[in-house]
C-alpha cells in the first residue's frame, strides 16, 4: 500500500500507512500477520549470479499464461509477461533474449523447472557460457530443479496473487459460474481479446512498483531491487566496505550466530584486528580496472547519445525551416485567394448591374415596337 501511495504521487510515511491500515482493516491486518511463514534462508553471491525462471498457471484454465524471472540477490523482477501460452520454448526463449539484450549480459546461473518449455533458455544459457572454465561454466550454468525448490520466484508468486491476479481470478470464475465461459477455444480467445492487454498493464504496474520498493534494513548493503541490481560493477567494493565495517565494530561477538538475511556473502578471511584508517578505502586493481572499463563504456554511450541528439536537433532545425517556408507560402496563397475572391465579388456586382440595365433596355425596346 505504501508503494501504491508513492506511485499515485502521495508523500506519506510508511508508519502512517501501517497505522491507518490497522485502524481501517484490523481483521485483515491480523489475518496477514498470522499467516507469516518462517522461510528458509537464501544465500547468493551478488547481482546476476542466479536468475530464477518459472510460469504462473493460475489463469491458464482461462487461456492466459504468465511467465516471469527474478534476480536471486536483488529480488528484481526481470520480466513478467502474459500470453496465450507458456509451454512454447520459443516464447520463453524470446523473454530471455529480450532481457539479456536489455541488460547487456546474462546470469552466471539460470534456474528453472524441469519442463520442455525451458529447453531453449537452457541451450542459450549453456551456449553463452561455453567458454567459461570456472565452476559455473558450460552445462553447470543451468540448473534444473523442482518447482517447490525454486524459492525466490515461488515466494514472489504469492505477492503477485495478492496484488494483481486475485481480482482477475474472482472475475473470471464469476463468468464461469454464470455460464458465460465453458473453456472452449472460442471462449478462451474472447478472454484473450478482452482482458490480455489489461492484465499485462497490471503486471507491468506491479513489476515497476515491486522493483522500486525498499528492502527491509539489514547489516549488509541496502536499497531497492533496481538499485541493488543496477550497480553490479561496484557491488564487490561495497561488500568489502561492509565487511570492514562489520569486522572493525567494537567488541565483536565471534561466537554469536550471524543474522539471517535475504542477500549475504560468506567470507573465509579472518577478522581484521587492525583499526581502520580515516582515509578512504583503497581499491583493488582488478576492481579499478572494472570501474574504468565501465566508465569508458558509459563515456562511449554518452558520446553516441550526444551525436545522435545533435543530429536530431539539426534535422529538427531543418524541418522547422521547411515548415516556416510552407507556412509563408500558405499565407501568401491565402492572401492571393482573398484578393481574387474580392475581385470576383466586384465582378458579380458589376454583372448584376449590367443584367439590370439589359433588362431595362429590353423593356424600352418592346415599348418602341409598333403595335
Specify whether the CB–CB gap between 95 and 125 falls below 8 A. Answer: no
Q: Do residues 61 and 191 share a domain?
A: yes
Q: What is the mean pLDDT of residues 220-243?
A: 53
Residue 42: what pLDDT? 67
Q: Do residues 208 and 293 share a domain?
A: no
Q: Do residues 53 and 198 share a domain?
A: yes
Q: How far apart are CA 226 and CA 47, in angstroms?
A: 10
Residue 310 lies in a domain: yes
Q: Do residues 195 and 47 share a domain?
A: yes
What's the structural domain count of the chain?
2
pTM of the complete model beyond 0.85: no
Q: Do residues 65 and 204 share a domain?
A: yes
CATH, residue 158: 3.30.420.10
Q: Render pLDDT for 284-328 as a digit per residue (tens, 0 to 9).
A: 566 666 666 766 776 776 677 667 766 766 665 666 666 677 777
Residue 221 lies in a domain: no
Residue 302 lies in a domain: yes
Statement: residue 67 has pLDDT above 90: yes
> pLDDT-based confidence at 92, cuts 50/70/90?
very high
Nearest-5° Cα angle at 46, 96 to 260: 120
Question: Among 108-122, 225-239, 348-362, where is mean pLDDT lowest?
Answer: 225-239
Specify whether the CB–CB gap between 108 and 141 falls below 8 A. Answer: yes
Q: What is the mean pLDDT of residues 338-364?
A: 84
Residue 27 lies in a domain: no
Q: Do residues 74 and 155 share a domain?
A: yes
Residue 82 lies in a domain: yes
Kindly report the backbone phi and psi dihedral angles of residue 254, in degrees, each rounded to the nearest multiple of 5, phi listed first. -70, -35
Three-state secondary structure call for residue 78: strand
Beta strands in the chain (DSSP E): 50-56, 65-71, 77-83, 109-113, 142-145
> pLDDT-based confidence at 137, cuts 50/70/90?
confident
Residue 15: what pLDDT? 85
State percent of the chain over pLDDT 70.
69
Q: How far apart are CA 356 and CA 351, in angstroms?
A: 9
Task: Spell out the residues 6+ positions from residue 228 whose beta carbon is closer than 8 angstroms to its own.
Answer: 47, 73, 74, 75, 76, 215, 221, 263
Q: Do residues 172 and 293 share a domain?
A: no
Calculate the average pLDDT of the chain.
Answer: 77
Q: Do residues 93 and 173 share a domain?
A: yes
Q: Do residues 191 and 106 share a domain?
A: yes
Q: How far apart are CA 209 and CA 359, in angstroms?
A: 85
Residue 244 lies in a domain: no
Q: Do residues 294 and 204 share a domain?
A: no
Residue 256: what pLDDT? 41
| Structural domain range at position 69 | 42-212
Q: Which domain-ending residue is among 180, 212, 244?
A: 212
Residue 217 lies in a domain: no
Residue 211 burial (CB count, 10 A): 20
Q: Which domain-ending residue is among 212, 232, 267?
A: 212
Residue 54 lies in a domain: yes
Residue 228 burial (CB count, 10 A): 22
Q: Do residues 117 and 195 share a domain?
A: yes
Q: How far apart are CA 110 and CA 142, in angstroms?
A: 5
Amino acid at each position: 500500500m505504501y508503494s501504491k501511495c508513492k506511485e499515485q504521487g502521495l508523500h506519506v510515511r510508511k508508519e502512517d500507512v501501517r497505522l491507518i491500515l490497522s485502524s481501517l482493516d484490523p481483521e485483515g491486518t491480523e489475518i496477514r500477520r498470522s499467516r507469516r511463514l518462517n522461510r528458509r534462508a537464501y544465500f547468493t553471491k551478488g547481482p546476476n549470479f542466479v536468475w530464477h525462471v518459472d510460469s504462473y498457471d493460475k489463469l491458464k484454465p482461462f487461456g492466459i499464461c504468465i511467465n516471469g524471472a527474478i534476480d536471486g540477490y536483488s529480488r528484481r523482477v526481470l520480466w513478467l509477461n502474459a500470453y496465450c501460452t507458456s509451454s512454447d520454448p520459443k516464447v520463453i526463449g524470446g523473454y530471455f533474449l529480450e532481457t539479456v539484450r536489455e541488460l547487456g549480459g546474462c546470469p552466471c546461473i539460470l534456474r528453472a523447472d524441469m519442463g520442455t518449455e525451458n529447453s531453449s533458455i537452457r541451450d542459450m544459457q549453456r551456449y553463452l557460457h561455453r567458454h567459461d572454465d570456472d565452476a559455473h561454466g558450460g552445462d553447470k550454468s543451468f540448473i534444473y530443479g523442482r518447482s517447490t525448490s525454486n524459492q525466490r520466484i515461488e515466494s514472489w508468486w504469492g505477492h503477485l496473487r495478492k496484488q494483481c491476479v486475485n481480482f482477475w481470478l474472482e472475475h473470471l470464475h464469476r463468468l464461469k459460474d454464470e455460464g458465460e465461459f465453458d473453456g472452449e477455444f472460442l471462449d478462451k480467445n474472447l478472454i484473450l481479446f478482452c482482458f490480455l492487454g489489461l492484465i499485462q498493464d497490471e503486471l507491468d504496474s506491479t513489476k515497476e512498483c515491486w522493483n522500486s520498493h525498499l528492502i527491509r534494513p539489514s547489516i549488509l548493503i541496502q536499497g531497492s531491487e533496481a538499485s541493488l541490481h543496477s550497480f553490479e560493477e561496484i557491488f564487490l567494493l561495497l561488500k568489502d566496505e561492509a565487511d570492514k565495517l562489520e569486522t572493525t565494530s567494537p567488541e565483536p561477538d565471534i561466537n554469536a550466530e550471524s543474522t539471517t538475511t535475504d542477500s549475504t556473502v560468506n567470507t573465509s578471511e579472518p577478522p581484521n584486528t587492525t583499526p581502520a584508517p580515516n582515509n578512504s578505502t583503497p581499491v583493488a586493481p582488478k576492481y579499478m580496472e572494472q570501474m574504468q572499463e565501465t566508465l569508458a563504456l558509459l563515456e562511449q554511450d554518452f558520446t553516441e547519445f550526444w551525436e545522435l541528439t545533435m543530429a536530431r536537433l539539426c534535422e529538427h532545425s531543418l524541418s522547422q525551416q521547411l515548415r516556416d517556408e510552407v507556412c509563408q507560402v500558405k499565407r501568401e496563397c491565402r492572401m492571393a485567394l482573398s484578393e481574387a475572391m474580392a475581385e470576383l465579388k466586384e465582378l458579380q456586382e458589376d454583372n448584376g448591374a449590367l443584367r439590370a440595365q439589359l433588362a431595362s433596355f429590353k423593356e424600352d425596346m418592346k415599348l418602341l415596337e409598333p403595335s
